[in-house]
A and B are shown apart, each in its own frame.
Chain A
């Protein structure tokens, strides 16, 4: 049996391609990667009217067949049948924005010259009508010489007609593409696109466009910035507030699983491996899922509505100061919740050097996993003194830690752009799409994919790492009367590490705590708790009593140094693993590990010495 013919979905950015892909394939999608490049391959199955299956692949949006990013190169290679690991498409569905034919038809014309059978989806026809445009799809079809189907992908309209048209151009799926025509230059293609656009337009009534009205407020230099700050404030509140309950459920269910295994198995190394290694390790990752989903819910919503491009527009000036552009703003912002989705979101940055810089500084944004550590140390060592005007000393220290991360990122970005990630200061050029109501089904599909990617990629690696850490902490078995933690390999490594970290004010217990914190930062809290042998299952209880314990054992300079360490240290191996994925090799993750450790060491040291000199 022949495999289902491959049909590629191509079009300009903002043509509504992803919504059309979702409308045609539903939730039957597979997300993978093209071999050798970090470009996502999204494919799905759909059936034609006669029941024949077709494999549909969603190609990255591009303005022409001359690529300016790795994503766009994949699009060119796939449609030309030159992409490794991909069959030559039997037909193309070219998505054009009905409200922007002048521009989108140019790319459609370029694709037509390839000689592959194609269908044009005249998408967002409702928005074009809202803007006062009346189009004639038949006239457009005559001019282009290919079937044209009006569609509204976000409302799932025109899908049956599109399937019928696809069936008619596919034939039996065995036709060879006609010989490609001589490639025309962009200016002449543009002229032809304009002429065809005029021929297909029945009438145009000028209307006051809704998008322009919204933009006059949203892009206003003062009001726009206030709206941006407010929106992201709400977003972060939600990330923390809404995630509290689901995080509790996840923790409870993992604790229940641990209790169940403990009861079901006899005391053995296997049980310890499952309970303390596998379940605890996987649990420590899955616990981030609610925050990641809430964050991506907002990001997908803001993206689908068209607001994200505006945020990039407003922030470009600020980002330009450190050699980046407005597009880097969103990934960095996401990194305040968690660097993993942040690094994944850098795919929208077209300049490879700027993307690399953004990936490398993302871990400096204070992620939510640092919060338990900050909370314990600040609670124990910083008095809750009121400084007046409603500002508390504890809050001020919190803010200072966030600020330290941001300033560090600014400095590092500036240096990287002058050294290892030096590149032409590629400008900021971005289309500001029309606003539109997002489709919740599209958002849900996007969320599902993010969740799956996160759990599968970060989950497998972190599980191996936690098992390794468990082994380091469990072997060799301590003889009676000696502490297992101290006697274990990890304990011995900590003794070695102590020599290195003593100059910056760290003691033996701290050296031991930063080792398991490599898996996830907040583990430092439970590790310290274990080391100071406080038996308590309730986390808040542990934090309180741990705080009192620490007060007696650590000096203030030591505590401050520990906080500064956590601002900079690359203490989460999932992030490093995602970095490896996104940069396609070990070079940059190792570089990041190195510079972040150096920075953490210097910052913690400077804090310790300064605080000691000041007699704190």
Chain B
């Protein structure tokens, strides 16, 4: 020890004995202030929670057909047959009347909706064998919370099962593009020069191909009759293949600027190996920006999957996805008279909006200008 420090007054305030806040805690505190972002986050947690519990929440099997074609949503009443108020919801049967081309309630069929009923067997998360469902009406009363489609399948059940596909595609595709984009962009930005030029030209070639056309062309190459799980996988690969270039460009730009920051220079002046500098200093610096870019680009993948499925090139019926469910709502008659068929569009809308709100909030929370 030298004598200097003894005479040096501490030039920080010695009042906080609490452990230091990590940058993540700081960002979380910033994020919590943003109400729209928190609303988006909660919405997304609910959506993904529903997707995970889809089999439990859905009263019917997603491919189960009935003769109730285009049945409107079943009515829900909070009174029993005597007209007295009841907390338990009641529903009635709807029957199609060809004379006026509409569904009407069948008198005297008011039946209670039961909760946690035993129904179709399923495997929760693909593992846990269960028969219990959140709700269900007696077997002789068809209970379709959001109506039925052109084949008499329960829209509510299909919406839930479809969300598993539509929501996971965005997440998985972004995980793949994120890792490719981060690696490729990080390398291009850090080394610069010729490596950078070559990588960026490749990215530009990929980006200059009209994206939707490329998607359609690639999807068209898939054989028509393959395992739907394989289709799912192929769609993810196609989406990632098209999507990584944009993210790589963003990351490259960020690592170009992070490379010039003094803490990177300082690490180099310490003789820290290059790989470690990229891994420990460049990529984490780029990570915050890139995760914002990623959050904001997830809706793009969800929309792209919907678009492909809408055109019949994605997930094939009877397997539901929001996109192929929406393709049933193409003609004007359906849009005008069978409004419940637009539920998947509403779900896409809510999801995309929630991701955008969250992404915007993350951008504000992670903005280093507010912190440094």
Q: Tell whether A and B belong to one assembly.
A: no
User: Interface residues, chain B, CB within 8 Å of chain A?
Assistant: none
User: Interface residues, chain A, CB within 8 Å of chain B?
Assistant: none
